[in-house]
Amino acid sequence: MSQRQPVIAGNWKMHKSPAESRDFVAALPESCRRQEAVQAILCAPFTSLGVLQEALSGSQIQLGAQNLYHAPQGAFTGEVSAGMLLASGCSHVIIGHSERREYFQENDVLVNLKVKAALESGLNPILCVGESLGEREQGGFEAKILNQVELGLSGLNLLPTHAERILIAYEPIWAIGTGKTCDDSEANRILGLIRQHLARLYGQDRASALRLLYGGSVKPETIAAQIQQPEIDGALVGGASLEPASFAELVQLAGQYGA
């Protein structure tokens, strides 16, 4: 039986103005804001971090960003550093989401630099990995996923404290925003492979401590079965995290079935 705390991380992507973000938090039930069973995180656009830092203060819900740049400061027009995110109230940052890999040409080397910058600064990275439909149909895609994990974490002296801070999200690209969730047992199988690989790289203790998430069309109707899979410690949720009621339901169900 795992002792790992369940996680529900919302990825708002490029949605919500600051005012809409404030309204979202105001509409969350008090039970969601106060619950402690689940680590609940909202990863918002940079422009909403300021209002969310204020709106979420005093609640159990943590704040995350969706990207960062690895340099601490400097002439990098349009970029935001780990230190800036921390100062804006973030505890987490999504790194290497497939949309950033696809539309912004992020590769595993850059992803690795960002993971290191996050960890060194005190931010907790949510490292995303996953295969496209073509890669899945071709076969052998598991090796790509394990490679993304290994390269994303490469060069890290993975301390026990790091293992508790890093979240790895398996998000099959074909399941993102499509309404086609990956079979629960298949998602569990892939996360199991990731955990075995982490055990080979960093030892069983660290691998057992790391929390592994599934992402791709997760909804309140799917989460109970997903979170009961032994390797699925939580979910990274896009569309269903945009409505306060469904985000709150996801958190409640993850606590009920995942703890």
Active site residues: 97, 171
Assess 234 for contact with ligand 13P (CB under 6 A). no
Residue 130 touching ligand 13P (CB under 6 A): no
For residue 176, state whether it binds ligand 13P (rule: CB under 6 A): yes
With respect to ligand 13P, which residue has the nearer C-beta, 25 or 94? 94
CB 225 within 8 A of CB 181: no
Residues 6+ apart with CB under 8 A from 6: 37, 38, 39, 227, 233, 234, 254, 255, 258, 259
The pair of structure tokens assigned to 139 is 């076969």
Please select the residue that binds ligand 13P; options are 45, 96, 125, 239, rule is CB under 6 A: 239
Site string for ligand 13P, 144-173 (x = CB under 6 A): ---------------------------x--
Q: Is 218 in the site for ligand 13P (CB under 6 A)?
A: yes
State which of residues 4, 6, 7, 11 lies at the interface with ligand 13P (CB under 6 A).
11
What gap in Å lies between CA 95 and CA 168, rounded to an integer? Answer: 10
Beta-strand ranges (E) seen in the chain are 7-11, 39-43, 62-65, 90-95, 124-129, 167-170, 211-215, 234-237
Among 238, 248, 250, 251, binds ligand 13P (CB under 6 A): 238
CA 65 to chain centroid, in Å, comes to: 10
List contacts with ligand 13P (CB under 6 A): 11, 97, 171, 176-177, 215-218, 236-240
